[in-house]
Amino acid sequence: MKEIKINFNKANLDLKEIFAYADKVKEINEKMEKFEGEGSAFLGWKDLPNNINPKDVQRIEDCAKKLHNDGVEVLVVIGIGGSYLGVRAGIDFVFGEYPGSEKKMEIIYVGESISSTSLVEKLKYVENKKFAINVISKSGTTLEPAIAFRLFKKMLEDKIGKNNAKDYIFATTDASKGLLIKLAEKEGYERFVIPDDVGGRFSVLTPVGLFPFACVGLNIKKIISGAKSANDIFGSSDLVSNLAYQYAVARYILHTKKKYPVEMIVSYETCHRFFLEWWKQLFAESEGKNEKGLLPHSAIFTTDLHSLGQFIQEGSKVLFETILTIKKPKYDLKMFELPQEENNDNLNYLAEKSIHEINNIAFDATIDAHSLVGRVPNIHISIEDYSEESFGTIVMFFERAVAISGYLLRINPFNQPGVEVYKTNMFKTLKKPI
């Protein structure tokens, strides 16, 4: 497993406070291992890395290889929420925002909104490119991806013919029920299965994430390996050794005992932006029920220090921060010294320091400013590197943590009944047939 470290020194917490929950965490974890308790029918994510069939992995890799060999330039990933956030999180996490030749295929994400402007722009972007479609939906009825699929499917069929188009459309959906599986069977699309016992926000290690990952050139076996090793450790009932469960308890204490209503997750790496978006969905949908739960917020530092920093430092004390840092950057470079007469920017004092070193110094300065002067609790999580294994590791870390966190709040972490309210209102206005 890639190393993860966690530090509570600036969190206004004593480890004794955390370890006082050892028995409760053990009880919750043992129930999870027995598939007992609320939401137990959706605990399939828990052992997913250990149970992935190698034949399924090979089929995913073979399908991706076919697209590479056919010269497909763009994969259009159609999905919303957990059907695309984990995909984008993983690709940006490993490859960064501008990967160049590392990425074997470009991905664009559609169906994540109903913006007509966004849809038209994306349709225009692919109209003269060779593209394939991966539509991701358990039901096939979610409005945003359903609209996008109809539009992009028509463009592909008009472009290369309906019979040929079916070879470039991949449906990631339920095994046996829903509109999408029926359409895929009728049209002859290649199909990947989202397990019944894995909810959307936990689905990144299913074909939801694995197929697009393979298409862009990520090593999905390494992602699975990192997740499996992490699961072996973060599935332990021993709170003293389980950092994921320590994090869950710490945020529970800060929320319920020390009365912070907001958790801001922060990264010092811009390519983590969509990982933070994935994290927000994971915790918001899992905990935000029965008028309970922390409001998840996110920021990229040092960027957002120039917009949110003043509030964090001196504003109302409504939040604590969870900081993610990377030990080994993917790339680094050193500042250099100029002759004094050319030192017009006065940056010679940074000579021979690496940019990553400067970023870490900014982190040290900020965590001290926020925690010691601003009295904002800070939890620090350190990730080893940008590798596929690290991505699999941190995914399991947070998935394990959110389960414990939800059960500590005495809610079902695996449903999301509130999401349906706006849909009901919308479909009523649109006069959707029952």
Catalytic residues: 285, 306, 423
Tokens of 31: 């129930």
- Other C-beta atoms closer than 10 Å to the C-beta of 25 total 24
Give CA–CA dist 193/208, Å, rounded: 8
Is residue 6 classed as helix, strand or coil in its secondary structure?
strand
Cα–Cα–Cα angle for 107, 109, 115, rounded to 5 degrees: 150
- Other C-beta atoms closer than 10 Å to the C-beta of 322 total 24
Tokens of 417: 């009944």
Q: Which is nearest to 377 in space by CA: 17, 4, 6, 9? A: 9
Amino acid at 272: H
Torsion angle in degrees (nearest 10) through CA of 22, 24, 30, 35: -140
Give CA–CA dist 301/348, Å, rounded: 24
Q: What residues contact 331, with CB distance under 8 A and at least 6 apart?
A: none
- Other C-beta atoms closer than 10 Å to the C-beta of 21 total 21
- List C-alpha distances in Å: 99 to 90, 94, 96: 13, 9, 6
Q: How would you class 291 by CB atoms within 10 Å of its CB: exposed for 0-12, middle for 13-18, buried for 19 or more? A: exposed
Helix axes 22-33, 388-408, angle to 10 degrees: 110
Is residue 220 classed as helix, strand or coil in its secondary structure?
helix
Is residue 67 classed as helix, strand or coil in its secondary structure?
helix
Cα–Cα–Cα angle for 394, 400, 402, rounded to 5 degrees: 100
Asked whether 279 and 398 are in contact (CB, 8 A), the reply is: yes
Asked whether 83 and 276 are in contact (CB, 8 A), the reply is: no
